[in-house]
Structure 1
Amino acid sequence: MSEDVAMTGIVDQAADAAEDSALPLAAPSSIPAAELEQLTADIIAALKTVYDPEIPADIYELGLIYKIDVDDDRNIAIDMTLTAPGCPVAGEMPGWVENAVGAIPGVGRVDVTMTFDPPWSQDRMSDEARVALDWY
């Protein structure tokens, strides 16, 4: 995963933020820590099922996810981007993300916001995506 995905509302993200100053400190959550940890893992797993149809890598490893926010009612807000503003699936991909994350048991509303600030670059890709795509 790209090291600068902001995960807010996630209790144990505060420790990660202390190690990586690119991540904001998480807001306290009323969701029990173990449940929040599992929900976070489930969200990431769901995001890894969504692929950019032009690039054989999932959107999470490509670094297209900029922010994931979980509120106390288990509503999820996701800020994401595309590899290029003119991507042919620009109108469809947010729906794919919403459907994938929305299928997780216990999740409330899922809102996906598309942003191009900052623009995506290959620097956002994880090592896993770089290996899969042979992009070094």
Structure 2
Amino acid sequence: MDDIAVIGEGQDETAAAAPEAPVSSIPAEELERLTGDIVAALKTVYDPEIPADIYELGLIYKIDVDDDRNVAIEMTLTAPGCPVAGEMPGWVENAVGSVPGVGRVDVTMTFDPPWSQDRMSDEARVALDWY
């Protein structure tokens, strides 16, 4: 998903979006690999009611890797009353925590902005036949 913010410690999303701005003191190649591995881990977590992973559904709003390789993830659910609301953050924490090189993982839930089908990737839309 192109709108996911991956930012370094102490930087806001605007700074992360600027291509010339340093994202982190982690070498760019390592940060790119780490971010790819984190996204791959997120793609192993599925919403049990929708046969698509949470990353392609657009439930991940932000991934922040700090200089100590701790990861903060901001995410949402398809609806506030989702039956797995209490469990899914733990699933995300476990999946991302299993990535080699990742330190502590903190998952924060938010409903601002609320999730909508517009956040879904084309891959998820095709898989769900929601075009």
TM-score for both structures, normalised by structure 2: 0.90
- Whichever residue aligns with residue 75 of structure 1, its letter is N
Asked if the contact 2:5–2:17 (Cα under 8 Å) also holds between the matched residues in 1, the reply is no
- Whichever residue aligns with residue 113 of structure 2, its letter is P
- Structure 2 unaligned residues grouped into runs of 5+: none
Asked if the contact 1:8–1:27 (Cα under 8 Å) also holds between the matched residues in 2, the reply is no
- Structure 1 unaligned residues grouped into runs of 5+: 20-24
Q: Distance in 2 between matches of 1:48 and 1:33?
A: 22
Which residues of 2 match residues 15-26 of structure 1 at below 5 A? 17-18=17-18
Q: What CA deviation, in whole Å up to 9, does each residue of 1:90-117 have, x standing for no partner?
A: 0000000000000011110000000000
Residue 132 (structure 1) aligned with residue 131 (structure 2)? no
**Matched residue, 1:22:** none
- Whichever residue aligns with residue 4 of structure 2, its letter is V
How many matched pairs? 127
Match of 1:35 among 27, 30, 33: 30
**Matched residue, 1:9:** 8
**Matched residue, 2:82:** 87
Q: CA RMSD in A?
A: 2.2
Partner-residue secondary structure (3-state), 1:113 = strand
Percent of aligned pairs with the same amino acid: 84
TM-score for both structures, normalised by structure 1: 0.86
